Structure 1
Amino acid sequence: MAKFRLVRELTMLLERQTQLRQLEALLADAAQGRGRVAALAGEAGAGKTTLAEAFMSHVGQGVTLLRSACEDLSIPDPLGPLYDLAREAQWELPRAIDDRQGQKLPLFSDALDIFEAKGPSLLVIEDLHWADDATLDFVRFLGRRIANSHILLLITARTDRSEGQMRVRRALGEIPTGNVVRIEVPLLSEAAVLSLAELADRDGGAIYRATAGNAFFVTELLTAESDTALPASVRDAVLA
């Protein structure tokens, strides 16, 4: 069991050190008043969330960490992630919305003031490909004004050809180029999969052929109890 835990941890962070260093440098810049939007992009299961978690676990005490996520709802609630961020910042967003009579730009300006007042801050919005239009508007608003702030906005999004991903691409494209850093979360190389399979006493070549280096699928196959049957979690993920 301990061996499988080690394999799982190594799989999700192997070949990710370059991306971690990029994020750390961007956060250091934000602490000095040069904020940016960092967009982690990769296919489903590539390890975007795990990379973000690893980065967040190393955030120093002088940085305010505020986390949020978009949900895969049939009709996304407006500004769902902003509610998450406001809750963690102890900001009464419903009252702020009433005070601003539902006007987005004054509300977004209030949000920027609230987050900037926290000092160096890391704002996280996961799964932006599921975002509603109002949340994408907030990302645009913040992205255009973030350069002179102490804020690093970290978003994660898939690189598939879905409508949601295209909307994310359009939103990021409307932010000044110098304010956005796109960081790819690639699939694992064959060499990485082979080395991990050796630790788990598995057939690395077969696993690489079956997964193409998708970190989630690699992890599930390496930690499965049997080589002969595909784990239920992988089957469910494929169907999803």
Structure 2
Amino acid sequence: MAILDNLAKGVKDFFVEEGHAAPAATAAARPLPAAPAPALANLAPGQAQPEQRHLDHIAQLLAGDGHDFHAFTKMVKSLAASGLSGPLLYQTAFNAFSAVTGLDLPTLLTSADALTQKLVDDRAKVQAHHREKTGETVPLKGAPSVLAQLRNQEAQLQADVAALSKQLTDKSQQLQDTQQQLQQESTKAQAALASYELANAAAMAELQVHQQATKSFLIK
């Protein structure tokens, strides 16, 4: 960064003259529009910054030959670190960048559009891959992703658990009905046995009475 700072200071000293003081004052009345905030809805809880691998991917995607809008933004950042801001910052950066690369403003803005389209296309590609990875869409080639397979397995297991739960409910009802029927039949059986015991006891008592009487009255 020391090299960039020195370069920024040199560019500033070379292109910025005292006559630019008035435009700088005017710039204060026309602040630059703020960049839209990035969408952070999909970040995991506690995740405030993107992962380094994604930052590296974007940096590689935007990397060029030094004669494009990405290189221009680097010069803007370097000059901003030296204290410039507003229209003076961008005018100074453009003057320096144009002097080094020979690019005019329309070509520079065309490069900006191309980089924007690169980001749009890459985002669409990553989102399509994400949908395949999560099982929302089926890949045109190859087997489903591990995540998609796990989602399918989860769905199948949930269906199996639901079926087993229904079977358990049905079996529980059958068990309850069987236990109730068993109780009823057991009660009936016990009542029948008790009735028989009464009849048997009565017959036994009557038989013994007659047997005893017979012995008493007939045996001499």
TM range (shorter): under 0.3
Higher relative contact order (CA 8 A, sep 6+): 1
Which structure shows the bigger proportion of residues in strand conformation? Answer: 1
Largest Rg, 1 or 2: 2
- Normalised by the length of structure 1, the TM-score is 0.16
Which structure shows the bigger proportion of residues in helix conformation? Answer: 2
- Normalised by the length of structure 2, the TM-score is 0.17
